[in-house]
Amino acid sequence: MFGFFKKTVEAIRDVAPKKQKTISKELLEEILLEADVSYEQVEEIIYYMPPSDKVKRADLRRVLLAYFIDVEKEQEVKDHPFVELIFGINGAGKTTTIGKLAYNYKTTGQSVMLAASDTFRAAAIAQLQTWAKNIDVPIVATQQGHDPSAVAYDAIDSAVAKGIDRVIIDTAGRLHTQQNLSKELQKIVRICDKAKEGAPHRKILVLDGTQGNSAINQAKSFNEIVPVDALIITKLDGTAKGGALFSIAKELNKPILYIGVGEKKENLVKFDKEEFVDSLLDEIFEDEN
């Protein structure tokens, strides 16, 4: 599953070219730092290792897994749609992620409607319309400059009337320093609740995996604007900073739902913490069998 993780794996191999039954704490520190785990977290990981200088796979695996929280089962929605709000900065891959997410839902037999609430850029509306056409799902869209909250409301209202299972709402890429866009995002949340009580049911922050640990402060700022429920990490196929997932998971204490590993509609995979950790450990330790 995590074969796309090759650049991070290559970085680990540069530090530890030979697999071993146990490794020293010094080598463990080098490996983790090379994979872009933050220095503070590396110290913490080593602190939780047994007193011996020799680090065993089972001990390291236990500590690394503890940083990830499990995805909670989606709260039951008595009447559909289940509404998800997607947000993040420009360039993180939000719109592409929405298209791939809608495709994932559709392949499981669920009906999906998209809402083009990024009315800040005409290109964003056109991009989402292209995705909707390619994966054959309905979309509610308007012209550049129109009220994004109204688009979200209309999409939810239409989905309720048509019995659609899910609504996915795109939003303008924004930085936490842009107060007007931040207020706009908060308004969309309020209007969603007016369209359907309890919506949006899940607020998902999309982070660019190539930014590594620098994405953490960004994420914290977003969480102050709109409480984040879950994360999607994109572009992990093109970076050696895969170890930053540990820091992101620790600092935000939010579940990672999916990871983006390419541009195609199939390139959004569910995050499995055990497979992720094992994919790293397989490059460090000899097979215990």
pTM score of the predicted model: 0.91
217 and 259 both lie in a single domain: yes
Determine the Cα–Cα distance for residues 183 and 84; give it in Å rounded to an integer: 18
54 and 191 both lie in a single domain: no
64 and 108 both lie in a single domain: no
In a domain, 257, yes or no: yes
89 and 180 both lie in a single domain: yes
Determine the Cα–Cα distance for residues 66 and 264; give it in Å rounded to an integer: 32
In a domain, 107, yes or no: yes
54 and 185 both lie in a single domain: no
In a domain, 75, yes or no: no
In a domain, 183, yes or no: yes
215 and 176 both lie in a single domain: yes
> Whose structure tokens read 């940083």?
67
In a domain, 289, yes or no: no
> Whose structure tokens read 């195609």?
264
Q: Which of 283, 239, 275, 284 is nearest to 256 (CA)?
A: 275
In a domain, 146, yes or no: yes
142 and 248 both lie in a single domain: yes
In a domain, 175, yes or no: yes
In a domain, 148, yes or no: yes
Number of domains in the chain: 2
155 and 268 both lie in a single domain: yes
60 and 88 both lie in a single domain: no
120 and 249 both lie in a single domain: yes
248 neighbors 231 (Cβ within 8 angstroms)? yes
Determine the Cα–Cα distance for residues 288 and 283; give it in Å rounded to an integer: 13
CATH code, domain with 19: 1.10.238
Per-residue pLDDT of the chain in tens (289 residues, 90 and over written 9): 455 566 777 778 888 888 999 999 999 999 998 888 889 999 999 999 999 999 999 999 999 999 999 887 766 666 789 999 999 988 888 999 999 999 999 999 999 999 999 998 889 999 999 999 999 999 999 988 899 999 999 999 999 999 999 999 999 987 656 777 788 999 999 999 999 999 999 999 999 888 876 788 888 888 888 999 999 998 877 665 678 888 888 888 999 999 988 888 998 999 999 988 998 898 899 876 5
- The domain of 105 spans 82-272
The distance of Cα 151 from the centroid of its chain, to the nearest Å, equals 24
42 and 163 both lie in a single domain: no
248 and 151 both lie in a single domain: yes
CATH code, domain with 110: 3.40.50.300
